[in-house]
Each structure stands twice: as C-alpha cells, then as structure tokens.
Amino acid sequence: MRIDQAHLSWVEISRDSFFHNVQEFKKRLGPTQLMAVVKANAYGHGLLEIARLAGEAGIGWLGVNSIEEGMTLREAGIGQRVVILGYVPLTKAKEVVRYDLRTIIYNPDNLKALAEAARQLKKKAFIHLKVETGTNRQGIPIKKLGNIYKLIKARPEVVLEGISSHFANIEDTTDDFYPRFQLQNFIEAINWFKNQGVEIPIKHIACTAASILFPETYFDLARVGLGLYGLWPSKETLVSCRRRGQEPLKLKPVLSWRARVAQIKPVPRGAYIGYGCTYRTTRPTKLAIVPVGYYDGYDRSLSNTAYVLIRGKRAPVRGRVCMNFIMVDISDIPGVKLEDRVTLIGTDGQDRITADQLAALAGTISYEIISRINPLIPRMVI
C-alpha cells in the first residue's frame, strides 16, 4: 500500500524540483563545491531521502547537526563526506572517527578527545576549525588560533581539512555591512594560517543567502540548506539580489504536506468550534476534520488564521489547532468526501500554500515551519 493511501498525513518530496534547485546553485557557484545541509531531518524533508537525492545529484558533502544524524547516514550506506556542524559530546569522539565523520572544532577539549580517539582506532580525524567572526555562536576567537593550532600540530592523527564560519545577519537585511565585516574577519583567520605556511584546503562560510548574493564568500565550499529545498531565506535576500542587478535564482519548493479528510460535519449557525470555543459560526457551516495538529508540526499559532486546500479551494482553519486535529470550513467547497486529499503546504489545482505564507501567519520563518514537521510522518519521493 502506498504511503498516501495508508497514513493520516504525509510529506511529498519532488525529486525534479530538488535537482532543478541543485542545478541553479551549481550554476551560481561555479567551481565551488556544494554541501547539502541536511540537518534537522533535512529541514523536514527527510534526512535519508534528501541525502540519497543529493548523492544522485553529485553533491559530495552533507552537513548534519549531530553525531546521531551522521551515524544514521552511514548506517544507511551514504558514502559522501559528512560534516557535523553542531556540537559533539566528548564521550562521542570515538563514534566520529569510527563512522568516518568530520567535525567542526572550536574547543581544545573536543580536539583532544578526537585526537585520542583517532590514535586508539589508528585512523585519521578530519576537522574543520570554526572561527568566531561575529555571530557569537560557535567559534574560536582569532586571537586564540595560535593555541589551537599548537594542539593540532602536536597530534599527527588530526587532519586540518577545513576552516569555516557562519553569517549572523545576511538574510534579515539589505544592508551588507555586517556580512562584509564578518567576511573580513574570516579572511584575517585564513591569512593567519597562511602566515604560518598553512593553506587549509576547504574554506567555507557561505549559506544560501551568501551563495545567492556574495560571490566573494564562495571560497572552496558553500553550505546550502534552504535554497536547495526551493525557498528563499527572506524577502530581503530577493530584494538585494534584484537591486544588484543579479538574476534571481529560479527556485522550486521541494516539499508538499498532505493529509486526508477524517470527517465531514454540518454544524448550525452559532456553533462553537474546538477548544476554548474561540470560533463561533455565523452561518450553517460544513466542517472537514483533518487529522493533523501541533504534534505533527502544524503550529498552534495558525489557529483561526491559516487555511488548507481541498479540491483546489481554500478551507479556513476554524478554532484552535489541537494536538492531532484541525477543523476547516468547507461550506464553500462543493462535493468534499471522506478521505479527500487536504494540502497543508503545496499546490492543489490553481492555488497553493507556501511555507513562507504559513511562516508569515505564524510569526516565524519558513525554516521553522518546515523543519518542525514531525519526523515520524512518512516522506515520499515523487
């Protein structure tokens, strides 16, 4: 039985759209290599599904957040280079080496643990240093590079493969002051190593917005997440792109989220709908009950504000989003039947609902809308 016949809701992944987006970025990046950022269950698209598609598309690098995500990739037979972008607990250093994963390093203690694991396993530990350039998240201050480099030089099992950083304020503004400041700091760190006679092979700082807007940030590798999934990081990114006279990438959303109608229910004028009685009908109303709620990742702030598509038409959410259900108004949609397809994100007929629209309604960003779709919901590549 197919996923879409057997589940309450499911996520469809368009392979054509993904490949199309990869080509758009490859064209933009030229010789710079591409990393598909597949952390957070590939931004909700399905870790293994996207890792496999990335492999087919010839992407040689994958970026995950945790050791567990890295191990999942390896256990599924994924062979690309995998960089853990997040934190790895000291006790997990051996797994990093055993599973041929790379880590971002910014603490001497993690470096030592990794070197010791590699020594014991008689293998190499490939590391990418993360430099603090102004995001003040992970990263080594430039003035501490000397200390960490001393440790690296003392451990022959450690291979300094990469140096990286991450932009703080590239999506939220059309002002390029802060990215340029961070880029300058990154170049200073690269030059610090050059002055020691060390050329680090893989330098990387670019994310989606940088890949679209700033060729000077490309270096050897670009870590692209959202763009590969067919979404723009922000309106500001698109505005900046147009202002600079750059051709905007033609991105196609990869993900659609669908469910089915679980009940059709006529209610009279004046009926209250759902928890808290926050909605009261103003006319005799036909409701469709949809088996998706905030547990599934349909945010509760979409209560009484969002809509879904059924038979190509908009059905507004009435009342509060429950843990496992929403109620939608189908009074103006003729012919809706039990188990009819419901579109929460995606296209149906002439209309569509985008992650950006839901994000605007929920007061958040598309990154959160898609990455929080419950990983237990099946993903289906079509």
Ligand X SMILES: Cc1ncc(COP(=O)(O)O)c(C=O)c1O
Footprint on this chain of ligand X (rule: CB under 6 A): 37, 85, 166, 207-208, 223-227, 233
Least Cβ distance, residue 125 to ligand X (angstroms): 20
> Between vectors from CA 363 to CA 357 and to CA 365, what angle results, nearest 5°?
65
Minimum CB separation of residue 42 from ligand X in Å reads 11
Nearer to ligand X, 37 or 308 (CB): 37
Of 303 and 366, nearer to ligand X (C-beta) is 366
What is the smallest separation between the CB atom of 100 and ligand X, expressed in angstroms? 20
Q: Is 123 a catalytic residue?
A: no
Please tell me which residue in 39, 92, 130, 203 is annotated as part of the active site: 39
Known catalytic membership, residue 39? yes
Please identify, using beta-carbon distances, which residue of 37 and 326 lies nearer to ligand X.
Answer: 37
Q: Which of 150, 250, 275, 295 is catalytic?
A: 275
CB of 154 to ligand X, least distance (A): 27
Least Å distance between CB 327 and ligand X?
Answer: 33
Query: In angstroms, rounded to a whole number, what is the distance separating the alpha carbons of residues 241 and 299?
Result: 31
How many whole angstroms from its chain centre is CA 68?
17
> Rounded to the nearest whole angstrom, what is the least distance from the CB of residue 346 to ligand X in the complex?
20
Active site residues: 39, 275
